[in-house]
Amino acid sequence: MKATSILAALLAASSASAMPAHTIQPDQVLETSAEFAAQFNPAPVPRWTVHEARRACAQDDSLCTWRFLMDTHVAAKTDVTFVVRGPGASRNSGEAQNVGDFTFTSGYDAAGFTTFAAVDNGRGLIAFPAYSDADVADGRVAGDRDYDVYYVRS
């Protein structure tokens, strides 16, 4: 991220370390305030809908399987099966998994919810579907939800 590079350069320049400071390259600087603001605004595409999200976990919580349909409204719906393994799987983050044109990862927050990063690799877009433990408790199917879509920045 550009802001991270700038911060790292400032910290490196202000430290007494013998390491040389990182030189910021022109392509790492945002040209305008509009360009800076645009990275935080949704992309001009339809919001993505997640249909029928549900989570089923093994009785010993060693494995949880999420199932849902990802609908971008510009292509066929993608049937997603996302598996999280390991002790306490219902409270673990999930590794990257490729499903069709998408790559999905998940993160679990101790407040009791899972957030997915759903990346459309072909179009360079990302959305962040999220569900509380209560939304999917005991195999409950969560209602359809729409999510803003953003550009993936390199």
> Hey, where are the domains in the chain?
2-38, 48-151
d(CA 48, CA 125): 10
**pLDDT, tens digit, 9 for 90 and up, residues 126-147:** 999 999 999 999 999 999 999 9
Record the pTM.
Answer: 0.75
How many angstroms separate the Cα of 50 from the Cα of each of 36, 59, 118, 126, 127?
29, 26, 11, 13, 10
**pLDDT, tens digit, 9 for 90 and up, residues 39-97:** 678 888 999 999 999 999 999 999 999 999 999 999 999 999 999 999 999 999 999 99
